[in-house]
């Protein structure tokens, strides 16, 4: 929207760059959208908001001090991985004063990893996206087992062998045809949290604000995000996934990013790429389940790696197709 672009350009450069970094979590290089996202995070929890703020500022300053691309810094590309690092580590690790120092070092590393990934992937015209965030957080999560001063939170998965689920899920028919107050609420909560969980927020209002923020930047982007969270609820229901995970939006946040990337950002927007995005979103759900089981023995969460892996495969394949165009 033009008014958002005008406000974005009118802001002082440091503020504009920082807020764009927050916005780039959802591919939105606009400071107004970034501000909406940041406010939403603070609504979801002060600690998460502060952690994201520390992360985005640290990673952006690191990129500037190390002399990385000014254009990339201005676009907020060195901010969004740091934005994710902060709330992620505060979710999966025990909240202590030392953890703030840990987050700062992780945010610094995320910018270094991003620069390295850009160097590796640019010849193939493939974005690094959130891969630096994933690699950095995995490293910092595993490292704590060697440090007495840091410990995992109850949310960090306990290492173990994957087991088949055995839960009292609602049958598929109940989700799809029984329009009771209970099932309507289940859908509403699951869809909203699917968007909120991109930044680790277990909050319906945060998800709604995130969607509004995306809409400020792009209608198509918002449509892809909503379709992504819908796919991330509908597909696991049919496959018989854990109802608890579905309700929490934990199967939806990766398809949200995948469908935005394939259907809006990196391939030419068209009906064809929208259909392709749906396919990518469905496959992201399966990829997430597979990676969750693969990582279970070492006790690591998938984070956004299912999105990264699926997006990379589709974008690499796009270079081989006469039908896809970037």
Q: How far is CA 226 from the centre of its chain?
A: 14
DSSP symbols for 84-142: HHHHHHHHHB---HHHHHHHHHHHHHHHHHHHHHHHHHGGGT---TTHHHHHHHHHHHH
State pLDDT tens for residues 116-158. 999 999 999 999 999 999 999 999 999 999 999 999 999 999 8
Is a pLDDT exceeding 90 seen at residue 322? no
With a CB cutoff of 8 Å and minimum separation 6, the contacts of 233 are: 187, 190, 191, 194, 246, 251, 252
Nearest C-alpha neighbor of 187 from the set 220, 232, 224, 222: 232
What domains, with CATH codes, occur in the chain?
12-146 (1.10.3430.10), 172-318 (1.10.3430.10)
Does 225 or 177 have the greater pLDDT score? Answer: 225
Question: What angle do helix axes 219-239 and 204-217 make, rounded to 10 degrees?
Answer: 140
Is a pLDDT exceeding 80 seen at residue 180? no
pTM of the complete model beyond 0.85:
yes
DSSP symbols for 171-197: PHHHHHH---HHHHHHHHHHHHHHHHG
- At 286, the pLDDT band (50, 70, 90 cuts) reads very high
Q: What's the confidence (pLDDT) of residue 168?
A: 55
Question: How long a stretch of residues is the chain?
Answer: 326
- pLDDT average, residue stretch 79-88: 97
Q: What's the confidence (pLDDT) of residue 179?
A: 64
Is a pLDDT exceeding 80 seen at residue 165? no
Nearest C-alpha neighbor of 99 from the set 39, 147, 155: 147
d(CA 83, CA 20): 11
- pLDDT average, residue stretch 162-176: 66
d(CA 315, CA 307): 12
Which of 20-29, 182-191, 274-283 shows the lowest per-residue confidence on average (mean pLDDT)? 182-191
d(CA 229, CA 174): 19
d(CA 226, CA 238): 19
Is a pLDDT exceeding 90 seen at residue 57? yes
Q: Is the dihedral of CA 275, 278, 280, 286 positive or negative?
A: negative
**Is the Cβ–Cβ distance between 78 and 111 less than 8 Å?**
yes
Is a pLDDT exceeding 90 seen at residue 162? no
Does 264 or 173 have the greater pLDDT score? Answer: 264
Nearest C-alpha neighbor of 150 from the set 96, 111, 192, 109: 96
Q: What does the block give as tokens for 51?
A: 């952690």
Does 161 or 17 have the greater pLDDT score? Answer: 17
């Amino acid at each position: 929207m033009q008014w958002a672009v005008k406000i974005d350009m009118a802001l002082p450069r440091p503020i504009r760059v920082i807020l764009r970094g927050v916005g780039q979590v959802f591919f939105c290089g606009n400071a107004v959208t970034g501000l909406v996202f940041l406010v939403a995070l603070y609504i979801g929890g002060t600690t998460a908001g502060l952690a994201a703020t520390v992360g985005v500022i640290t990673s952006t300053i690191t990129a500037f001090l190390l002399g990385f691309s000014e254009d990339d810094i201005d676009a907020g590309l060195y901010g969004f991985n740091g934005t994710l690092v902060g709330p992620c580590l505060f979710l999966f690790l025990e909240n202590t004063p030392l953890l703030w120092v840990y987050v700062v070092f992780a945010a610094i590393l995320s910018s270094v990893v991003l620069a390295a990934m850009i160097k590796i992937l640019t010849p193939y015209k493939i974005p690094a996206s959130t891969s630096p965030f994933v690699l950095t957080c995995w490293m910092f999560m595993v490292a704590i087992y060697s440090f007495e001063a840091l410990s995992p939170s109850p949310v960090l998965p306990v290492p173990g062998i994957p087991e088949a689920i055995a839960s009292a899920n609602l049958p598929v028919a109940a989700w799809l045809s029984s329009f009771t107050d209970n099932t309507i609420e289940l859908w509403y909560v699951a869809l909203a949290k699917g968007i909120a969980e991109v930044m680790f927020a277990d909050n319906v209002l945060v998800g709604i604000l995130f969607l509004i923020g995306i809409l400020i930047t792009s209608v198509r982007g918002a449509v892809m995000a909503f379709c992504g969270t819908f796919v991330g609820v509908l597909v696991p229901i049919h496959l018989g996934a854990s109802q608890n995970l579905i309700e929490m939006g934990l199967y939806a946040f990766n398809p949200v990013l995948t469908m935005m990337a394939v259907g809006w950002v990196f391939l030419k927007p068209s009906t064809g790429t929208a259909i392709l995005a749906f396919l990518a979103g469905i496959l992201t759900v399966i990829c997430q389940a597979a990676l969750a089981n693969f990582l279970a023995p070492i006790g690591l969460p998938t984070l956004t790696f299912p999105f990264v892996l699926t997006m990379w495969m589709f974008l690499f394949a796009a270079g081989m197709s006469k039908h896809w165009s970037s």
